[in-house]
Every structure is written in C-alpha cells, then in structure tokens.
Chains A and B, each alone.
Chain A
C-alpha cells in the first residue's frame, strides 16, 4: 500500500485526500510556486481544499497576462484590496511590457501598489501564514514569486478595562488578543530604541507569534539566552494562549506556585521591563507573561503606587496579613478546637464549644465541607452568565449558609472562619496565586486535623523549604526576603516614596543598579525665609 502511494506521488499528483497530516507537511515543503499560473492555482486549491473563506479573484494585466488575487474574506481591509485591484487592472496599462521580462513587470507593479508592506514570497507555507493574517497575495502568470501585500483589516477587540485585575486608580488599559496591539501598548510607554522586541513563531499548525520585550543593556543576557533556548526547545503543533507557553518554559513544573506572572495590565509589564525583566507576549492571549517573577510580585497591585506611599505600604502589609489568614486560619481553628483549647481565651472557647453543641460532624469535616462548598459556589459564580450571578450568591449565602446553621449541621463559628478565609483570599491580586494559596490551605487544614499546631508547623517548614528552593529563570523565588536583600525592601513589603526608590531590584537589575539620582526629596521652597515674609503670611 505504502509503495503504491509513493509511486502515485511521484507520478505528479502531489496531494491526495488520504494523505495524513505529516505526509502533507513533507509534500508541501517540497512544493514551490511555479511559473505557470494555472498550475499554481491548482496546487493552492488542492492544498486549501476549496475552503469557502479563501477567495480567488481573477484579473488580467493589459488584457493578456492573467493573474489572481488571493485573500481571506473579512480578514482584509476592503479599500486596500480594491486599491490593489485598481492598480493591477488599470494602472498597469501604462506599463510597456510586451517583452517577456517578468522581473521588470513585477518591479513595476511593486512600485505602483501603495500598501505599506509588500514582500515577494515563493514558499507556499509562508504565503498561507501571511494570508491568514490578512495579507493579500498577487499571483501573476509567468512569475514564480507571489507579491504579498499587507492589507490587514480584521476586527480586533477594543482596548478595554482589564477585567480580572481592577484598580481604583491608574490606567484603565488592558491587553487584548492581538499581539501588535499589546506590544504597542508597551512601546508607547517606553519610547527608546533600547526597547527590543524579539519575535518567533511557535506551533506547526497554529504558527503562533510569540514575542518578548526587554530593555537591551538592562536585562541579563544570560537570562535572555536561557529564555531563547527554552522557547526554541518547544516543539508542538499548537500554542493557544500564554498558558501553553508558561507550562513549556516554567522552571519547576510540579510546583503549584506560579513561577511566571500573568497579567493583563500594561503598567505592570512596563514597570517589570524597566526593572530588567522580560515581558512575553503570545498572540491570541490577552495575558502577558512577566519573567522572572518572585512571590512578592504576586502580592503587589499597581494601586499601591498610585496611592500615597504610606497608604500603599499599609495596604501591602494588609495583603500579607490577609494571605496568612487565608492560608492558616482554618488550620489554626481546627488545631485549636481539636488539640489546643488553651490557646483560645476562655470566653471565646466557651462560645465556640457552645456553638458546636449538637453538630454531627467532627470539626475537620465541618471545615472541609464548608470550604468545598464555598469553592463550588465560587466556581459556579464564575461560570454563570452575569444575569444569573446574583442568584447563586443568594442560594449560596442565604439558603445554604443560614439553613445549615439553623438545621444544626454546621456551627456558626465554622461559617465565620470560612467566610473570613474566603474574603482574605480575595485580596490576592493575581488569580493564579490565589489558587495556589487555596490549595495549600487544604493541605494545612488536613495537617492540623492530624497533628494540631505541630502539623501546621510541619507544613510551614515544608512550604518554606519548597518556596526557598524555587527559582524563576535563575532568580530566587522569595527574592528580597530570602535571600534577604535589604536594598530591595524599599519596594517590597513596604513601598517607599518614588524619590526614595533610587535603585532597581538587585538581581534582575544588576547591570544598571541605579534608576535615578538620589536626593530628590521634595520640600518647601528653599529661598523662603522669615525676613522676606513681611506681611506675616
């Protein structure tokens, strides 16, 4: 059978219906555009299988040279395609091309067409990849090079509020699915040629554009080389979004903690790039990856900078406290009710014991049920259309919570603990991090149920070891805290005033440690003195 097919291929019939994808790859790689228009057309038609959205528009130059325009419907800007057609059908009449010098004809046409980007392509794959992004290909009889004109005009989503990372102040721009729009959002903030954006295509079928932006001379070259090699190592047929890339290039795939920051806010990416980090854009994804990332980054929000420094620091400390609550509170509750009643003040202990009167479940089961219930509610809330969203919260909060307490199934104390935990968990600005914390919370609760506070301590030791052993692109994950870098503490758990933050983070920004001159603290007018102030103001 195989031999038969191979013979058939050689006999000039390049593509048959029963060819598998990999055979098609191999076949198409061999095919180049030929000189004969009809044959080229036949190949292209065969290759694209007469797909209904691929349009072939025939025309002829000087009424004797036939040509065809290939584009994909609704990907193009109609006006520019019409302009190209007008050039080809009308303006070319002025060209004297009775001879067979096609090269001349092509150059002449190239000069006439007024789109901003025009390329000569004779490889079928790149031809298709370009058409699929809105370009228009011009094939002319007798020419083995297609002219690919940039006529992109497809619809993209408008730049809107980043929906998952809201801030009260600060810019309201969020990334969109189009790579070029995303890079432009960075480019218009950092307007120097030193902002380099490298691009490559990943995925044999999807041909996804991946780009990474950094400041040349600031970002560590070793890290960039590492990133390049990790990206080039990817050999897959599809990349659908930045999540794919993230899983391919992460340092420690089995850790639940995200080692790359995913954000949809250009201001976060900009500030990271200015610290010597790298922003990684993936076409089709409104999330940009920032690397290397360290844990404190996930607990910072742009709002901290738009607020007053003291207020911002306060919010940051609050966030750390909330994270500790969301990870440890249920386990402390379980441990103290089960093992260490002495930890609770007597009055509180009596209340808790009284409220547990008649509850049929052990405290761990109770907590577990309520936590899982909450997770289910939350998931349901995300999946539901916005219109029914409030309904689920009524069912969840009122019916389940209230009724469960009334019926004596769970104690009110547990509901308070779970609610506190949930609210505290919502303060984590980055979603992937809050998931990681939620998972560790379950582990801690289990350890507390088995071993009490001692189990919590065991869990904390394991967590510490794990977090301290993580690295993101060579940088320690707990960076300014462990290893302790006092200089970076200026903008970590606290946030100093902008005039006081004269250094970049030590490790990512080691090539240019200073970002501004020191001693820029503002103050009242220096020349002011009492003598001049005659009127006593």
Chain B
C-alpha cells in the first residue's frame, strides 16, 4: 500500500468535524457550569485556552516531522520510558473514542431510538469506525472529504433555520456578564480540555504532506470549530433560554427539535442527527486508527491492522460500561472531574517530552 499521505485540507476537515461533533453535542459551555446567558463568552475564552494546548501538542511534533509521538518519545527519553509515556497517548485515544461513541449513543437513545439497546448503537458505530480505521488514514481522510459538505450543510441549515426565532428571542442574551467573569471562566474549562482530541496530531503529523503547516491547520480547525460553538451557543441560549438550556441534556438537538421551518418540514432533528453522526464517525475512526497505530509502534509491530479489532472491542465495551447513563456522562464532564483528568492526559506526557527535549537542546548547545 505504500506510505499513506493526507493533505492539509483533509486534516482540517478531520479536526474540524472531530471537535464540532463533541462541543455541540452537549454544549459543555452551557451545561457544565452556570455561565448561563454568558456561555458564548466562555466559548470564545475556550478558544484561547485550547490554542495554547494545541501549541503544546503540535509544537513537538513539528520538530520531528517524520516521527510519531511514540517514535520521538523513545528517542528523547529512552526506549522503555518512551514506551511508557506513549501508553498514556494510547489510553487517551481509547478514552476519547469511547466517550465520543457514548455521547453519540446517548444522543440517539434520548431523542431518537429510545427502545433500541445502547450496545447495539454503540457497536454499529464501532464496527463502522473500525472498518475505516482498518482501511487506513487515507481512506478516513477521503471519507472526511466526502462527508464534510454534508456535515457543514447540516450545521449551516440548522443555524440558518434558527435565525427567525433567534431574532425574536434575542432578549434572552441579556444581561451580558451580569455575574462577573467567574462562571464564564468555569464554563470554558470543559471545551478547552476537549482539545485532548487533538492529541491525534501527535500520531498523524508524519502522514501529512506538509508537516510544517500542521500547526496552522490545527489552529484554523480550532478557530472554525470555536466559531461554530459560539454561534450554536448564542442560538441555543436565545431560543431555549439559559435556564432550559442548562437543564437539557443535549441542548443543541433540543433546540433543533423546536424549529419549525414550514408546514412541510416539521422536524428536521433526525436529519441533523444523521449528519452529526458522520462527524462522530470521522472522529471515532481517527481515534481508532491512532490508537492502534500507537499501540503497534509501542509493541514494535510493522502493521497496525491486527490491533484495530481488539481495540474496537475494548473501546466499545468501554463506551458501554464507563457510563451507566447519560447523566453519569454529564457528571464526568464537570470541570472538577474531567478538567484535571483530560488536562493531565495532555500535560503529563507532553510535559515529560518537552522537558526531555529542552534538556537535549541545552546539552547540544553545551557540546558546541
């Protein structure tokens, strides 16, 4: 099959869809803290926090453009220590994949297929994702090319159809910053740490055509996703009101449900979910690809494909068993719990690697 290469555009599509699906899935800015009508400011704040984390994640990868994190970790801190640190990445991919799938299952079960067993939905997505992961990153990125227009038009349509209602109810957005910056900052924590998703860049950068531009692509994708998040939050707050938005489990989809475009199209919610699922698929398959690729490199295997199956099963079971119901999922996404957890997934391995890199640089300078 040769070396797989993906273009920057495809990387952008993957990163964009990956983040948007999760951040608008349950609108953490609104549901994880009581920023209330100021939640959209949290969305803006989260962009800067997330951008900082992206710098940490991508910066090192761009200094080793031909190597995945697993490879340069072994180079920087030795074989066994490097493998140990790399395990954290693989664990992160597994957890995030499972959480992504669980959110997808949760959305479908609460609003859509209330009688279908959860495991059925989860394993269908796991199967689709793992087949794509098995086919390789090129296939995933081509699928992203194909699905991105559908995904984007879903977003644009849902937001566009909300404009009349939005204009009618925009009073809900006032007053701005009535309760100070505290809740706003608190609300921005979860969307910021969801950037742990972008850890996939540590695995994917060697597969891109221009690794030097990966940072720019990642930041653009983050900016695009943040813009969507701000718009979605504004619409949800205006249409549902901050109170109801806070209490609903999946505010964005509830908002879409209330939209009434015309007599003919009374509910576009299933179609929105339909397109949203495409984004979940891209995310899940990329995590599975990166997870199995990372694991294969840790174990020293040439081909990652034999590991996709086991990883798929593990992440599926994980998705079912780590959260008993949707509310446990939401509890997990409280700043107090998910914040330190996801942050440590990024900071610990990257911190170790950056430190090692810094020491190496200093040593080299000393030799000279």
Contact = CB atoms under 8 A, between A and B. Distances in A.
Contacts of A451: 113, 116, 120, 124
B135 interface: yes
B310 interface: no
A11 B277 CA distance: 79
Nearest to B146: A482
Range of interface residues on A (Cβ < 8 Å) = 20 to 34
A520 interface: no
A342 B142 contact: no
Given A340-B270, A345-B264, A454 B143 contact: no
B146 A481 contact: yes
A464 B146 contact: yes
Nearest to B265: A345
B266 A465 contact: no
A456 B112 CA distance: 14
Interface string A426-459: 0000000000000000000000000111111110
A5 B271 CA distance: 77
B267 A481 contact: no
Given A345-B264, A482-B142, A462 B128 contact: yes
Contacts of B9: 484
Given A345-B265, A454-B112, A483-B145, A468 B139 contact: yes
A342 B272 CA distance: 14
Contacts of B7: 483
A476 B142 contact: yes
Contacts of B144: 482
B312 to A, nearest CB: 14
Interface in B269-323: 270-271, 274, 277-278, 281
A422 B263 CA distance: 29
B143 A482 contact: yes
A368 B135 CA distance: 32
B141 interface: yes
B64 to A, nearest CB: 26
A252 to B, nearest CB: 12
A21 B144 CA distance: 55
Contact of A484 (B116, B135, B145): B145
Given A454-B112, A481-B146, A482-B146, A469 B139 contact: yes
Contacts of B143: 461, 464-465, 468, 482
B149 to A, nearest CB: 9
Interface string A367-401: 00000000000000000000000000000000000
Contacts of B145: 481-484
Contact of A345 (B124, B263, B277): B263
15 contacts: A339-B113, A345-B266, A453-B270, A453-B274, A454-B116, A454-B121, A454-B124, A457-B274, A460-B278, A464-B143, A465-B132, A465-B143, A468-B139, A468-B142, A469-B135
Given A345-B265, A478-B146, 11 more contacts: A343-B271, A452-B113, A454-B277, A458-B125, A461-B277, A465-B143, A468-B146, A469-B139, A478-B142, A482-B145, A483-B145
